[in-house]
């Protein structure tokens, strides 16, 4: 296994963890909230909303803009 495959595997593992957390959150007895709920806690205040949206803006700028 070379470093390229290891790096890709790491990203794949992170993506799998996101899906696993989200599916687990569907169980009413789970302590893991859905991602929207977790984000909602951060975005309950203006500063939190601006911070999260700034990260979203940066994504757009980083991949597309000058």
Report the nearest approach of other proteins to the CB of residue 22 (Å): 10
Q: Does 18 interact with other proteins (rule: CB under 8 A)?
A: yes
57 forms part of the interface with other proteins (CB under 8 A): yes
23 belongs to the binding site for other proteins (CB under 8 A): no
Please name the residues in contact with 18: beta carbons below 8 A apart, sequence gap of 6 or more.
35
Distance separating alpha carbons of residues 15 and 9, to the nearest angstrom: 10
Distance of CA 5 to the CA centre of its chain: 22
Residue 10: Cβ within 10 Å count: 10
In the set 1, 19, 23, 53, which binds other proteins (CB under 8 A)? Answer: 53
Binding site for other proteins (CB under 8 A): 2-4, 7-8, 10-11, 14, 17-18, 21, 25, 28-66
């Amino acid at each position: 296994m070379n470093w390229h495959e290891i790096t890709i595997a790491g990203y794949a593992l992170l993506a799998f963890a996101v899906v696993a957390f989200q599916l687990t959150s569907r169980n009413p007895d789970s302590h893991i909230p859905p991602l929207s709920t977790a984000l909602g806690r951060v975005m309950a205040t203006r500063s939190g909303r601006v911070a999260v949206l700034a990260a979203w803006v940066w994504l757009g700028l980083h991949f597309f803009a000058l």
